[in-house]
Structure 1
Amino acid sequence: MRESEWEGFTQGEMRRWRHAGFEPAHASAWREAGVDDPGDARLWRTAGATPETVITWQRAGMTPTEAVRWHELGVAPHDAARRHLCGERPRRVSWFSKAPAVPAGPIRQLLRAGIPADVARGYADAGWDGQEAEQWARRRIDPGDARLFAALGFTAAEAARVGVDAVSLVTSWWGAVPVEEVAAWCAAGMDPVEAAAQRARGVTAEQAAVLRALGQ
């Protein structure tokens, strides 16, 4: 392998990436994705991430080690990012631990509200209270997405209008405004670029909330 293929790498960096089993093009791709440590890149790769998709995991605040643990638990990348954003951390459950039964109360409440049985079951499995879940379930929002949307401050009606899943929303808004302001700006009808520009001009999230209320 010609050293000229490692343009942009120091001798030490080249040796580390080669020792970790990366070809020059792959090493460059990981570095362009913001992963400068070949050990981290190897962990991300083990977890199923690529230089093109690792940003979703990173913006969920996940470390490569945590990503590997989610992978070992059989959790898909998108679901892992969503659960991580909601504060859940990957951990194994003992084989001797008995899974709690799904409470019948929430399912009955949702069925009485006219929610289809499969949707009601999904919300009950996810630990939702029946009354709390009704507006989200009525709009057929995935229970995991609903949990993250709610944590961000969206109402069920607002989340239904977003048009993307919760993780994609967080990814697209990353760095535009503080995460606690995303719901106010997004529900006011702005995209990340518009919101960042308005914020730079001195418009506050509270002012955006006024526009949000008018759109209800």
Structure 2
Amino acid sequence: MDGEVLRRLDRLESIDAIRQLAAKYSLALDMRDADAWVGLFPEDVKVGGGAVGRAALRDWFDETMRVQFTGTSHHIGGHIIEFDDPDRAQGVVYSKNEHETGDEWVIMQMMYVDRYERIAGRWFFRRRLPLYWYATDLNKPPIGPQKIRWPDRERYDGGFHDYFPSWQAFWTRTGPDDAPVAEPAPLDRFIATMRGDAAAPKVKVR
């Protein structure tokens, strides 16, 4: 089997393994299997506040899932994966989520902006940036600004549209775009082409 065929086969297997990461993340999270969940991240995962490692991430998981939510269900949508090299990739995946929190049922629409890394033949999440469009009680549609509306918390914006500059550009224009139509994005550069040189937004995590 020649090198090009092997390279393409490796790419297909990698795409499937990365897509499985997103599905495994949701299942482990919803079933509250902290060990399975943290195992999707590398041993040196950065947790925040200077903490590093799976044990620290598991502590964060336990506290967050125990205090804020009674139950959750995460539904994976479209998943775009692009490779920087054979062992590093990036992606964007949609997620529609439901949360039982106290005596309210909160629905959420969001996307994850991911970095993936293959270590010793296995793919892991290197980083997940959650971007939220809305979160609200099932019976209270989040019309207007600050669509993140958790019970008994201040409302805020979740950065859902901030990662891609096209949203602001669309609404800044008063009519159709009169610039020439751009050429299709290069292979494995769809996300990068959409983003241009935009900086990653700072987002409050739930």
Give the number of the structure whose residues are more often helix, by fraction. Answer: 1
TM-score w.r.t. the length of structure 2 is 0.25
Higher relative strand content: 2
Which structure has the higher relative contact order (CA within 8 Å, separation 6+)? 2
